[in-house]
Amino acid sequence: MKDYKLRFRQVHMDFHTSEKISGIGEKFDADEFAGTLDEARVNSVTCFARCHHGWLYYDSKNYPEMIHPGLKQKDLLEQQIKACHKRNIRVPVYTTVQWDHFTSSRHPEWVCINEDGTMVDTCNPESKGVYEAGFYKTLCVNTSYRDYLKAHIKDIFESVPEVDGIFLDIVMVVDCSCRTCVEGMLKENYDPVSREERLLYAKKMMEEFKKDISDYIRSFNSAASIFYNTSHIEPALRTVQDSYTHWELESLPSGGWGYVHFPNSARFARTTGLDLLGQTGKFHTMWGDFHSFKNKEALEYECYRMLAFNAKCMIGDQLDPDGKISKDVYQLIGSVYKEVEQKEPWCIEARPVCDMAIFTPEALGFNSGCGGTIPESVVGASTMLEEMGHQFDIVDVKSDFNSYKVIILPDEIIMNKELAEKVENYIEAGGSVIATYQSGLNSEKTAFASGVFGVNYLGEAPYSPDFIVPKGEIGKGLSETEYVMYKQGTHIEITEGTELLSSVNVPYFNRTWQHFCSHKHTPSSHQYGYPGIVKKGKVIYYSHPVFSTYAQLHPKWCKLLIKNGLDMLLPEPIVRYEGPTSLLACVNLQEQEKRYVLHMLHYIPEKRCQEIFTIEDVIPLYYTKVSMKLSEKAKAVKVVPDGENLDFKYHDGRIQFVIEKINGHAMVAIEY
């Protein structure tokens, strides 16, 4: 299934429709529907078989009682598919798995149970139970609900012709204490009283569920696309990857995910071998935000950024209950998708070219909730690296470290024997490592798991905040004075052959009720405390959690300390440019076309209101100087798609050119 390729311009057409509304689909016109999508250059649209209210939108052979009672055109889905196929628009079919109001209210015995005996309500942890608005009671796929779901999938294939694929929404690992799960856990020797064991069981059962359902779907259509949606793509999904044909990264920047989620999810997903798409929405905020419009500039950025991160584009919309497609929404979507269509030839089969990788602590556990989260240490590290223009992936234990020149172990990478050996072999083979704070400690957090870090662990630092004193090369751009390190570090001593790059001075005392000074932390006593940054061969170790500090507070000195460390380990990064930190650079390679494609994105998300980030203006950049270190000799450098040729020259083994104008997004092809 590794060769499944997604289309570039997709729409996810939500249709969760209350039974209290009548005239469903009465203004639907198949030709107008498909024609509007086509005009907006959409070439794949996910349409609805069943919604979170639990209603069907097709002429069900086996479950006519589940058809939406207000549905005027019983074959709504069939008409959508036929009209779209006529225009070569693909139509994967949406169904819901764990949220279904119709089913959960008729079959409470199928609902997941919390350990206190209440029903699991994913979006309302403080749920008022039965009297809560919303369809978020969560169904348990280990109960006989699974048989019902399979019968529904069979019904889709029997009732609807030409099903291209199935999108299964809301498929989460749930901490469930329902009778079926408890009996299952006891049978397999899991302790249901322990939350950790319940989650392990739930994860195992969820993998089994996906394999079961994918086999079942493939028995009807072996070529069907299959995706189980939990939005965040994380290392824990690797073990069940064969049940998927591709990844969809649901990540609406104004819908709770923010602008940092998508790139961090994509940087891992793109390393797994499956094709991926990014999912945003046309909504100003979130799904279900009817009659709202995202700023065009924000939609541009979100889609072009997907292209830069090797993903195809998907924009979420919701059809009005009367079924009439909105011309205005598709003018907005079309204005961006027409540009995407022009840019596509430089994105097909493009793979990222990365100097380095961040090892994610997610690899050591798993997210179980809806939406998923990116660990703070990874957010801090990736924000820094993006601001520096570095090219990187996010990796786990299964990744091949040797494809990268530098591996970053951010703040919390506790090492078992397997990981310690992997890191040692990587360094032996010539790789460089940056490790911070607890990264490198053994599972008991009593000592470093390997000698490669060049230090002994004495415990947590006795003082915090304390003060780093940058010196020499590691202190480039900083004064040789004290800089506060806000978060507690480790207390270390250096071993033989390790170079001390910067030391830490300690405060007069820690701030307590008995001794404190001024509003915030105690100032430095100017007395040496312990080592702060050390280097042993190609490993640089920082004793403070600089990455999570950066994610929380953004101190520029933390970034400069990492930047200088990277300059020492990687003197020739693939790309360098003179531009603001708001500029995002992504280097891709199209091997078959014999060209590199450099994406430069300059959009600035701002939080000007209480709740969301958005983008309203595009601020162009002029005359951006770029240099790149490529293994091939360039024949031509072109701004694409327009094809304008740029002058270039070589200096110290790096190709140099100037991009005259970056108006939001610029792509430069370096042909060799």
Least separation in angstroms between CB 182 and Zn ion: 8
**Measured from the CB atom, is 195 or 635 closer to Zn ion?**
195
**Measured from the CB atom, is 209 or 247 closer to Zn ion?**
209
Least separation in angstroms between CB 226 and Zn ion: 23
Q: Which among 121-129, 151-159, 179-187, 569-577 is the span making contact with Zn ion, rule CB under 5 A?
A: 179-187
Bridge pairing between strands 636-640 and 644-646: antiparallel
Q: State CA 274 to chain mean position distance.
A: 14
C-beta separation of 138 from 99 below 8 A: yes
Q: Which among 103-111, 177-185, 205-213, 564-572 is the span making contact with Zn ion, rule CB under 5 A?
A: 177-185
3-state SS, residue 625? strand
Tokens at residue 316, please? 């979420």
Least separation in angstroms between CB 213 and Zn ion: 16
What letter represents residue 374's amino acid?
I
**Measured from the CB atom, is 184 or 372 closer to Zn ion?**
184
Residue 176 as a binder of Zn ion (CB under 5 A): the answer is yes
Comparing C-alpha atoms, which of 548, 559, 565 is closest to residue 501?
A: 565
Residue 178 as a binder of Zn ion (CB under 5 A): the answer is yes
129: DSSP letter: G
Tokens at residue 491, please? 């207390």
Q: Which H/E stretch holds residue 39?
A: helix 30-39
**Measured from the CB atom, is 140 or 612 closer to Zn ion?**
140
Least separation in angstroms between CB 240 and Zn ion: 18
Least separation in angstroms between CB 201 and Zn ion: 9
DSSP E strands, 270-398: 276-281, 312-318, 351-352, 356-359, 392-395
Q: Which among 132-140, 475-483, 589-597, 628-636 is the span making contact with Zn ion, rule CB under 5 A?
A: 132-140
DSSP E strands, 319-360: 351-352, 356-359
Tokens at residue 557, please? 């000195």
DSSP, residue by residue, 598-653: EEEE----B--SSS--B------EEEEEEEE--SS--SEEEEETTTEEE-EEEETT
Q: Which among 174-182, 432-440, 513-521, 649-657 is the span making contact with Zn ion, rule CB under 5 A?
A: 174-182
**Measured from the CB atom, is 177 or 624 closer to Zn ion?**
177
What backbone torsions phi and psi does residue 358 show, to the nearest 5 degrees? -100, 125
Residue 461 as a binder of Zn ion (CB under 5 A): the answer is no
Residue 347 as a binder of Zn ion (CB under 5 A): the answer is no
C-beta separation of 485 from 448 below 8 A: no
Q: Which among 42-50, 51-59, 138-146, 583-591 is the span making contact with Zn ion, rule CB under 5 A?
A: 138-146
**Measured from the CB atom, is 5 or 106 closer to Zn ion?**
106
Residue 139 as a binder of Zn ion (CB under 5 A): the answer is no
- Alpha helices by DSSP H, listed for 119-194, are 145-159, 179-187
Q: Which among 168-176, 337-345, 622-630, 662-670 is the span making contact with Zn ion, rule CB under 5 A?
A: 168-176
Binding mask 180-219 vs Zn ion (x if CB under 5 A, - otherwise)?
A: -x--------------------------------------
Binding Zn ion by CB under 5 A: which of 77, 140, 170, 364? 140
C-beta separation of 493 from 458 below 8 A: yes
Point out which residues bind Zn ion (CB under 5 A).
140, 142, 176, 178, 181
